[in-house]
Amino acid sequence: MEFRLHGANPEKLYELFGLQMPERLYDFSTNTNAVAQRGGFVPDLRAALEDYPDDECLALRALLAEATGAAPENILVTSGSNESIYLIASYEAARENRILQPVYGEYLRALKNFGAAPLNILDLRAAKLPAEGAVWLCNPCNPTGGFIPDGELDEIAARHPRTLFIVDEAYRDFIWTDETLAPYRPRPNVVRLRSLTKTYNLCGARIGYILADAEMTERLRRRQPSWSVSGLAQQAALFFLADATLLRRTKDYYAAEMPRLISAVNGAGFPTLPSCVNYFLAAVDDDERFIRFMLERGIVVRHTRNFPGLDGRYVRIAARTRPENDILLAAMEDYR
What average pLDDT does range 95-104 have in this prediction?
A: 97
User: Are 50 and 68 found together in one domain?
Assistant: yes
252/61 Cα distance (integer angstroms): 27
31/214 Cα distance (integer angstroms): 30
| Cis previous bond, 259, omega within 30 | no
121/307 Cα distance (integer angstroms): 13
Q: How far is CA 156 from CA 58, 97, 100, 104, 163, in A?
A: 33, 16, 14, 22, 10
213/71 Cα distance (integer angstroms): 9
pLDDT in tens, 14-30: 999 999 999 999 999 99
pLDDT at residue 5 above 70? no
pLDDT in tens, 192-250: 999 999 999 998 889 999 999 999 999 999 999 999 999 999 999 999 999 989 999 99
Percent of the chain's residues with pLDDT above 90 = 89
Question: Which residues, 6+ apart, have CB-to-CB distance to 276 below 8 Å?
Answer: 140, 145, 146, 147, 175, 176, 177, 179
H runs (alpha helix) in 35-79 = 45-50, 58-68
pLDDT at residue 289 above 90? yes
pLDDT in tens, 292-312: 999 999 999 999 999 999 989
Q: E-strand spans in 35-101?
A: 75-78, 96-100
Length of the chain equals 336
Boundary (domain end) residue, out of 241, 269, 291: 241
Q: Extract long-range pairs of 36-43: CB within 8 Å, 24+ residues apart.
A: 36/199, 36/200, 36/201, 36/240, 36/246, 36/250, 37/201, 38/201, 38/202, 40/239, 41/235, 41/236, 41/239, 41/240, 43/232, 43/235, 43/236
Residue 4 lies in a domain: no
Q: Please spell the DSSP secondary structure of 157-195, one letter per residue.
A: HHH-TTSEEEEE-TTGGG--S---PPPP--BTTEEEEEE
* 3-state class (DSSP) for residue 317: strand
Say what the pLDDT of residue 332 is.
98
Boundary (domain end) residue, out of 191, 213, 241: 241
194/174 Cα distance (integer angstroms): 12
User: Are 114 and 186 found together in one domain?
Assistant: yes
The residue segments making up the domain with residue 129 are: 45-241
Lowest-pLDDT range, 40-44, 148-152, 237-241?
A: 40-44
User: Are 160 and 147 found together in one domain?
Assistant: yes
Q: How far is CA 229 from CA 158, 261, 315, in A?
A: 33, 36, 33
Provide the pLDDT confidence category of residue 38 given band limits of 50, 70 and 90.
Answer: low
pLDDT at residue 333 above 90? yes
Statement: the pTM of the whole predicted model exceeds 0.85: yes
User: Are 218 and 283 found together in one domain?
Assistant: no
Of the spans 4-8, 94-98, 203-207, which averages the highest pLDDT? 94-98
CATH number at residue 209: 3.40.640.10
How many domains is the chain built from?
2
CATH number at residue 305: 3.90.1150.10
47/280 Cα distance (integer angstroms): 40
Say what the pLDDT of residue 47 is.
83
Give which of 193, 184, 189, 183 is closest to 215, Cα–Cα: 189
pLDDT at residue 6 above 80? no
